[in-house]
A and B are shown apart, each in its own frame.
Chain A
Amino acid sequence: MSILVNKNTRVVVQGITGKEGSFHATQCKAYGTKVVAGVTPGKAGQEVEGIPVFNTVADAVKKTDCDTSLIFVPPPFCADAILEAADAGVKLIICITEGIPVNDMVKVKRALHGRDVRLIGPNCPGVITVDEAKIGIMPGFIHKRGVVGVVSRSGTLTYEAVHQLSTLGLGETTCVGIGGDPVNGTGFVDVLPLFEKDPETQAVVMIGEIGGDAEEKAAEYIQKHVKKPVISFIAGITAPPGRRMGHAGAIISGGKGTATEKMKALEAAGVRVVKNPAEIGHAVKAALGR
C-alpha cells in the first residue's frame, strides 16, 4: 500500500513541451510512472518521448483516461492551468511551478473548495510512491521502498531526509512535498490521516519550516488522531523575523511562525522533534525500536 499515487496512476503533464516539462516527463516515465499524456495549447499531435500531446486537459482525459496532472506551466498562466485540470475532471493535481502570485492561489483554492479534487503544491517537488510512481522532480534513485511516510514543505531538505532513511535501511512508502508557498492545496493535516490509515507506513517524518501555523495545526491533529510515531524537523531556528527565506511562505511575521514555537507545539503533542537535520534518520530508527 501507499498513499495518493501508485503504479496505476495515469498522469498528464501540463506544460510538457517546455524545457522543464519535457525533461521531467521523461524522467518520471523512465522511473516507471504511467505518463500517458501531455498538454500544451496549440501543440496537439506532437509527441514527447512517445507521450502524446493534446491541446487541452479535457482532450487528454477523454483520450487517455488520465486521473492525475503534473504541472510545469510558468507562473503567470499556472492558476489557469490548475483550474483547467480540475474542470477536466482530474482528481489529483500536483503543481511544481514556483512563483505563482499568492492572490492567484487565493482564487484557485476557493474555486477548488468543496470539489472532488486534491491539489498538491504549488512550489513543491511532487509525490513519489517508491518503486511505483514518481510524479515530480525528486531524484528517484535516492528512494528505497520501506516503511516511512514523508511529508514536507521543502524540496532538497526532503531529499536529505529520504537519503538518511534509505541509507539506514528504513526506506519510504510515499513522500509528499506540500510546497513552500503560503497558500497551498494540501497541508500536513490532509496528509497525516492518509499515512495513519496506510498499513505499510509505520512512522511518519514531517518536515516543516518557519512561517504560518501549519505545524501547530498538525500538532493538534497528531495529538488527537495519530498513533504512529511522528518524527519532525523544523527548519529556520536561525532565521531572522520579517525576512523571506527563499520560499514565499517561509517568513516570521508579527512574531508568529517561529521554529521554536512550532517545535514546542509538536513536542507537546508527543512528536519526536530533532534539532539536528542530520539526525532525522536515526531518530526514526530509534522510534521504531530498530
Chain B
Amino acid sequence: MNVHEFQAKQLFAKFGVPVPRGKEITSPEEATAWANELNTSVFVVKAQIHAGGRGKAGGVKITKDKGAVAGLAKELIGKTLITHQTGPKGRKVHRLLLEEGANIAKELYLSILVDRDTGWPTFIASTEGGMEIEEVAEKTPEKIIKEAIDPAVGFQGHNGRNVAFALGLQAMEAAVINPFVQMLGNLYRLFMEKHAALVEINPLIITKEKTLVALDGKVSFDDNGIFKHEDVQKMRDLNEEDPLEIEATANNLNYVKLDGNIGCMVNGAGLAMATMDVIKLAGSEPANFLDVGGGATKETVAAGFRILLKDPNVKGIFINIFGGIVRCERIAHGVIEAAKEVKITVPLVVRLQGTNADEGRKLLAASGLTLEVADDLWEAAQKIVKLTGKAA
C-alpha cells in the first residue's frame, strides 16, 4: 500500500527524521490559514497523488508571495495530473501539501528496502539526489552505495558511517555526518517497526544552514504487515485506487486492472499470470489479472463476473481453473449459479482441468448457458480470442 508524501513526512517526523514544516490542505481557505501560520519566505504547494513525476507535470508550485498561495491551491485542487507513472488518464488531485521552502546546498538520494537476494534490509544512497535512481543505477552504477543491515542486531553506528563517508559527506559538509548517521538509524526503525516495503527520500538535502531535511518522502507498506498497524490502515486513500480493485479486495479477490479486452478469472496467482500470457500468445491482450484463490465458491465466481463485466473494455471472458483441492464440478455449479444472477453479455470460455474436471465440463455443457468448454489451456485461449474477433 502506498501513502501520500504528507503522510510519509508525518511518519518521518514521528521517527525523528527532519522534514520541512508543512500540512495537508484540501481547500484554498485552508491554504491561506496555514500560509499565515507558516510565516516563511518561500511557500511550496505540492499536489498529493500516488505517483512520481509530479514536478514535471506541473503539480508543484513555488511562491514567495503569501497572498498567491490560495490561488495556487485553487489551481491544483481538482486538476488532473498526467505523469509517467499515472498512465494516460492521469490522476485527479484531491489534496495538497503546503510547506516551507528550503535553501538547498546539496541534494542526495536515500532509501531502504529488503534486498531480495540476501533477505537483509539494505540502504541505498547516492550523491545524485533528485534523479530517478533507476537511471543512476543504469548509467553510473558506481554512484550507488549499498549498506546491508544485519536484522539479528539491527542498525549499528558503523552502518551509518559507512554510508556517510562513502557519500563523501566529510568533504561536502562534515557537520551533517552525525545527524546523518542518527537519521539512518531512525529510518531503519521506521522501516522495521511499521512493516514498510520501501522508504525513500529523494531528495534528501543538505541546507545552506548545514542541516539535513527530507524534502520529499515516499513510503510504501507491506500489504501483509498492515494488519498490525491501525495508524497505517487509516492512511489508505481510496481516491488513489481503481474502484474495481477496491470492490475486488472487499470480496477477497486479487484483481489488477489492465488495458486489454479479455477478462480472465483464474485460481492461483502463477496460473493467472500464465493465463494472461497465453491470451497474448493467442493474439489478444488480457483485460485484467484475477486470482479467485484456492477456495473459489459460487459467491467468489459471481463477484468475479460482476467485476469483470463492469470493465467496459471486456469483450470476452476466459475462466481457467485447475482443480486441486477445489473440485471442478463445484466451480461449474458456481459458474452456472453466478450466470443466473449476473447477466453475461460477452462470449465465455471455461476451461476446467484437474479434480472432477469431466463432471464439471458435463454440467456446463448441459446447463443451457451460452459458453464454450475446453479442457486444454492453449485450445481455450485460442477459442476466446477467436470469439472476441481476433485470430491468432
Contacts and interface: CB of A to CB of B under 8 A. Distances in A.
A217 B115 CA distance: 14
Given A154-B268, A156-B271, A212-B116, A244 B225 contact: no
Contact of A254 (B117, B134, B355): B134
Interface centre among A139, A236, A238 (most CB of B within 10 A): A238
B152 interface: yes
Nearest to B149: A106
Contact of A154 (B269, B276, B281): B269
Interface string B57-89: 000000000000000000000000000010000
A271 B272 CA distance: 24
B152 A110 contact: yes
A238 B280 contact: yes
A156 B269 CA distance: 8
Nearest to A246: B269
A238 B223 contact: no
Interface stretch (B207-215, B309-317, B322-330, B340-348): B322-330
Interface in B265-291: 266-274, 276-281, 285-286, 289, 291
A149 interface: no
A276 B378 CA distance: 8
A121 interface: no
Chain B CB within 10 A, most for which of A23, A154, A276, A277: A277
Interface in B120-163: 120-121, 133-134, 137-138, 150-152
Interface string A235-262: 1111110111111111000110001000
A243 B256 contact: yes
A237 B223 CA distance: 24
A154 B270 contact: yes
A76 B120 contact: no
Given A156-B267, A156-B270, A138 B256 contact: no
Contacts of B286: 238
Contact of B271 (A103, A154, A276): A154
A136 B274 CA distance: 22
A250 B138 CA distance: 22
Nearest to B87: A240
A101 B354 contact: no
A278 B354 contact: no
Interface string A217-232: 1000000000000000
Interface in B228-278: 228, 254, 256, 258, 266-274, 276-278
B353 interface: yes
B325 A137 contact: yes
A139 B325 contact: yes
A111 to B, nearest CB: 7
Nearest to A24: B325
B195 interface: yes
A182 B114 contact: yes
Nearest to B357: A163
Contacts of B322: 156, 159-160, 163
Contacts of A35: none
Contacts of A211: 116
B224 A249 contact: no
A139 B291 contact: no
Contacts of A276: 277-278, 281, 378
A240 B258 contact: yes
Contacts of B353: 160, 163
B42 interface: no
Given A102-B114, A250-B269, A277-B274, A156 B324 contact: yes
A210 B273 CA distance: 9
A77 B133 CA distance: 36
Contacts of A104: 225
Interface in A1-53: 23, 27
Given A139-B324, A154-B269, A106 B114 contact: yes
B335 interface: no
A206 interface: no
A275 interface: yes
A269 interface: no
Which of B137, B151, B270 counts the most chain A CB atoms within 10 A? Answer: B270
Contacts of A102: 114, 195, 197, 222, 224-225
Nearest to A106: B151
Contacts of B270: 152-158, 180, 207, 209, 235, 246-247, 250
Given A137-B325, A153-B270, A245-B289, A278 B376 contact: yes
A101 B222 contact: yes
B151 A160 contact: no
A254 B269 contact: no
B119 interface: yes
Contacts of B223: 244, 248
Across the A-B interface, give the 5 residue pairs with the lowest CB-CB distance, nearest first.
Answer: A154-B270, A246-B269, A156-B268, A157-B270, A101-B225
Given A248-B223, A249-B116, 15 more contacts: A100-B224, A102-B195, A103-B222, A103-B225, A106-B119, A110-B151, A110-B152, A154-B269, A207-B270, A213-B116, A217-B117, A245-B273, A247-B270, A250-B270, A254-B133
